[in-house]
Structure 1
Amino acid sequence: MSFLIKMLKYISNQLQKIMLTPNHILLNVEIVTERLLLQPISIVYEDDIFKEFNEEITTYTYPCPARDISETRSFIEDSIAGMKNEKDLHCVILDKDTQEFLGCAGIHNINGKSPELGIWLKKSAHGNGYGLETIAALKKWADNNLEYEQLIYPVDKANIPSKRIPEKLSGKIAREFEQVNLSGRVLQIIEFRIPKN
């Protein structure tokens, strides 16, 4: 009987993947937590992203700040294309009650064995536990919707608050390496691997 149940679950999962178009899957994802709402990125947030993804925020990230709003628009358009092609999930992070923009997060390479998590929060949102709440919610969504072995969470060694996130989610250090970001800074990356539940 348990084999039959497993087989039915597998068939149901495969049918969902076949029957639903990318527009129905990733462009309509909404993840709700105790305090946050994660929605697919859209052009509506281009001003917020352009303003808040600044030099200070990008200290520990691979991307650099946009020089003008057209670069932000291109990023959003590329993110939407990645969702339509079922490659990535890109979300804006909003305060659930006020709808205030707090940052962006996502899962890259969602069809691989090791999708990669990413997040950034605007400066005024730091220190509230939103990062852990967001990444835990994305992991839960991935556990329920993706076939993967582990999630990758790369973080600069100096970014202590962000480093605590994968540690709290049973992440283990897989490797360490240097990476030059798009602003020319050398990052000391620690790559955590978070197992699927």
Structure 2
Amino acid sequence: MENLEKVNLESTRLILKPISLEYTEDVFREFTSEITTYMYPKRADNIGETEKVIKDMIQQRKNGNDLVLVMLKQETLEFLGICEVGAIDTDTPELGIWIKKAVHGKGFGREAIGLLKDWVDHNLESECLSYPVDKRNIPSRKIVESFEGKVFREFQRINKSGNLLNEFEYRIYK
């Protein structure tokens, strides 16, 4: 596996690069309560919480556990959101993504997940990819289903905002 600090993925419209503290304000501004409706984490109460979370993401990358990348628009370097491959040290790495509200519906999510899937296929030895998503999050379900993701199991959990999530764990097989 390549050095996670140097991962830089590109497509025609996107640049994905390791998260850094440079993006603290962008993440704090765009990771809203609306964005987190169907997600496990909650919106940070203050920018200090966001900075702490990003520092933890950087440490997880250094430990070789997770790869969290910022999504930037290729032509302008506009911050679009975050995507990740978590649990990269397991047989079933987990994909995740969130995109700022202003660019929903433009295909950036599918494009980013495609880049991540290709990276995993070429850099990790895994049985399959996991992609947990709340049943009500239709746009995110469409992303995983476009990669032939199949529901592996259903489960419920309470997110950090105290709301019940009814989730599907999709699996994407090679």
Q: Same fold (TM over 0.5)?
A: yes
Q: TM-score, with normalisation over the residues of structure 2? A: 0.98
How far off is 1:166 after superposition? 1.1
For residues 167 and 98 of structure 2, the distance between their equivalents in structure 1, rounded to whole angstroms, comes to 16
| Residue equivalent to 1:175 | 153
| Residue equivalent to 1:87 | 65
Q: Say whether 1:111 aligns with 2:89.
A: yes
Q: Is the 8 A contact 1:39 1:91 kept in 2?
A: yes
Number of residue-to-residue matches in the alignment:
174
**Secondary structure, in 3 states, of the residue corresponding to 1:190?**
strand
| Residue equivalent to 2:173 | 195
Q: Which runs of 5 or more structure 2 residues have no equivalent in the other structure?
A: none
| Residue equivalent to 1:184 | 162
Deviations 1:104-141 (Å, cap 9, x if unpaired)?
A: 01011101000111100000010001111011110000
For residues 28 and 71 of structure 1, the distance between their equivalents in structure 2, rounded to whole angstroms, comes to 26
Q: Is the 8 A contact 1:111 1:147 kept in 2?
A: no
| Residue equivalent to 1:125 | 103
Regions of 4+ moved over 3 Å? none
How far off is 1:93 after superposition? 0.3
How far off is 1:60 after superposition? 0.7
Q: 2:118 is aligned with what amino acid?
A: K
For residues 34 and 162 of structure 1, the distance between their equivalents in structure 2, rounded to whole angstroms, comes to 21
Q: TM-score, with normalisation over the residues of structure 1? A: 0.87
Q: Say whether 1:54 aligns with 2:44.
A: no
**Secondary structure, in 3 states, of the residue corresponding to 2:143?**
helix
**Secondary structure, in 3 states, of the residue corresponding to 1:82?**
helix
| Residue equivalent to 1:75 | 53
**Cα RMSD (Å):** 0.9
Which of the pair is proportionally richer in helix?
Answer: 1
Larger radius of gyration: 1
Q: Which runs of 5 or more structure 1 residues have no equivalent in the other structure?
A: 1-16
